[in-house]
Amino acid sequence: MELRHLSDILRPESVVVPLQARTPEDAIDVLVNSLVLDLPGNSGTRQELKAAILAREKVGSTGIGSGVAIPHARSRSLSYPRLAVGLGAEPVDFRAADGEPVNFVFLLAVPEAAPKSHLTILASLSRIASDAKLLRRLKRASTATALYSLLADLPL
């Protein structure tokens, strides 16, 4: 499967506005739940994926600055990359490099056997986050539907 746009890995159901979270763990929990709703054996997948993302977060913060975090992990439970996005009502302290709290979270999960796509998608998400004009538009979305519409056709 060739990945061209965010809509190739992002479903409307995996966009959460407003993301209700007080901690990075809360945000990760909500977004993981939105990712695994349609997966068989989703309870085990949810636990495995959340544990992998939290383990990665312990290695170093995924708060990249400008109010954005990209928690991510590889998972043996997935057969293709998945993305969830949350726009928070209240900022969360992800211990970002710039010291600013986070209100926009991309949560990425990729198959364990796909390290190349993992890096490619992370680079694409970082480019989106570094485009100040685009990021302002994304952060002004008032509904999940509006945010998904802005994200869907963005290139990977």
Helix (H), strand (E), coil (C) string for 82-117: EEEEEEEEEEECCCCCCCCCEEEEEEEEEECCCHHH
Tokens of 41: 């054996």
The burial class, CB within 10 Å (0-12 / 13-18 / 19+), for 56 is middle
46, 72, 74, 118: the active-site residue: 72
Strands 102-111 and 82-92: antiparallel
Residue 118 annotated in active site: no
CA distance 28 to 90: 15
The residues that are catalytic are 72
